[in-house]
Amino acid sequence: MLFLIALLFLFFGYSVAFTFAGVSVIVGVFALGMDLFAFMPYRIMSVMENTTLMAIPMFVFMGIVLQKTGLAERLLESAAKLFGSMAGGVAISTIIVGALLAASTGVVGASVVAMGVISLPVMLKNNYHQPTAAGVICASGTLGQIIPPSIILIILGDVMGVPVGDLFKAAVLPGFLLIVVYTIYILVLGKFKPHYCPPMEVTESKRELLVQAMKDIVPPLLLIVTVLGSIFTGVATPTESAAIGAVGSLVLALFYRSLSFAKINAVSKETVKVTSMIFAVLIGATAFSMVFSYSGSEYIVEEFFLELPGEKWTFILLAMLAILILGFFIDFIEIAFLVVPILTPVALALDIDLIWFAILITMNLQTSFLTPPFGFSLFYLKGVAPPSFKTTTIYKGVIPFILMQLFVLGLVLLLPEYLIIS
């Protein structure tokens, strides 16, 4: 009842945080009594004292600085000119910059909007096949889900009780593989259907382009290497490296002379909005998981999965299918807080590596950003695309990229020993 009522309210469009909290209070009071909620202040306090979750506002701040100060725009323009003279060059530059933005923001919406505003007009001007242009931008923007420092990896690390640094390491190869698969697809498309992604006319010399690219790409790349390198080498925790990234993004903005008090004010307000939304959902989900746990529901779910034939593989396939279907309708944060706490005890009972399982969930949630009818990346792009750009065009464009994501998800599922860095 708890689970179904929450899903029903979410489908009707009610606020996620208040749905979780409200449904938990109603069902909890009727099923278990008011005394249960005496534990709630302690649970909220544990959220407030969680140092891992402190990384979220700082990584969000870092990403919004890069977007609001025009650094993302500089990256895209330089990369587009550098690769633009080859068939599919603008699309490839969009994928590369999408990966760089993912590694410096971890926020999907910021990446899709930035590339939709900057890259889409360039593609349309060069007579790109509209669905292909839409698919490239949406898919590149969702790389922020899997490429560290991903917000969802931080959330899953906390929900599943695994080190965030280990999740960041494990996500590197699957993220890189996605970039490679996307790039190969565009190169093949440029070879056999050059009218889908024609080359761009570039007037500057190669030397000028290289010098400009070095100025625009190398400093953000150094920031990314510093942030992720400090985590991977064990020099800093994810929270400490997030602080380095936040300060580093301000230094970059100052270096490019894009920093002003008005921009810092706008960035700070946007960071507070995004962070407040995430933590409001987290507190609501805390109430939900408390009622779910104390009602004994997790034991019922665990017993159900343990009695299925095929045990481990049946559970993984059913879990992936459930997350994929839910991703058609609800957001990744809702899935992370609503479904993952239910699945984690079963995964532990079946002796499944939680790092591997978390990466599978992350890649599946990434696919949910692209799946019609409610994939968030589709709406982010539609919001900044010209009025003549139809929603059905975006739907058509993302289908090949959804198939590619499912292909890479299958590889990670079958070959974890080669694709997961422990």
pLDDT tens digits, one per residue of 52-94: 888 888 888 887 887 777 777 777 778 777 776 788 888 998 8
Question: Cβ(224)–Cβ(140) under 8 Å?
Answer: no
> Span 273-297, mean pLDDT?
82
CA-CA-CA-CA torsion for 46, 52, 58, 64, nearest 10 degrees?
A: -100
| Interatomic CA distance for residues 3 and 294, integer angstroms | 14
- Per-residue model confidence (pLDDT) at position 418: 84
DSSP readout, 63-132? HHHHHHTTHHHHHHHHHHHHHTTSTTHHHHHHHHHHHHHHHHH--HHHHHHHHHHHHHHHHHHTT--HHH
Place of tokens 């529901």: 297
pLDDT tens digits, one per residue of 304-344: 887 878 778 999 999 998 888 887 777 777 788 878 888 99
**Mean model confidence pLDDT for the chain:** 85
- Per-residue model confidence (pLDDT) at position 410: 93
* Model pTM score: 0.85
> Span 241-254, mean pLDDT?
90
Question: Cβ(386)–Cβ(190) under 8 Å?
Answer: no
Angle 106-111-117 from CA coordinates, rounded to 5°: 165
- Per-residue model confidence (pLDDT) at position 107: 63
**What phi and psi values does residue 296 have, to the nearest 5 degrees?**
85, 10
Nearest to 392 by CA among 417, 420, 372, 419: 372
- Per-residue model confidence (pLDDT) at position 386: 84
- Per-residue model confidence (pLDDT) at position 105: 61
More confidently predicted of 377 and 362? 362
Nearest to 80 by CA among 96, 102, 65: 96
Q: Choose the weakest-confidence range: 32-36, 130-134, 228-232, 402-406.
A: 32-36
Identify the band that residue 355 occupies on the pLDDT scale cut at 50, 70 and 90.
very high
| Of the ranges 119-128, 238-247, 294-303, the best mean pLDDT one | 238-247
Q: Choose the weakest-confidence range: 237-246, 272-281, 323-332.
A: 323-332
Does the pLDDT of residue 117 top 70, yes or no? yes
Q: For the chain, report the end-to-end CA distance as a whole number of angstroms.
A: 39
Does the pLDDT of residue 3 top 80, yes or no? no
Identify the band that residue 356 occupies on the pLDDT scale cut at 50, 70 and 90.
very high
Sign of CA dihedral 82, 85, 89, 94: positive
More confidently predicted of 265 and 418? 265
Question: Cβ(361)–Cβ(308) under 8 Å?
Answer: no
Sign of CA dihedral 162, 322, 369, 274: negative
| Interatomic CA distance for residues 254 and 279, integer angstroms | 30
Does the pLDDT of residue 206 top 80, yes or no? no
- Per-residue model confidence (pLDDT) at position 211: 83
| Interatomic CA distance for residues 112 and 143, integer angstroms | 10
Does the pLDDT of residue 150 top 80, yes or no? yes
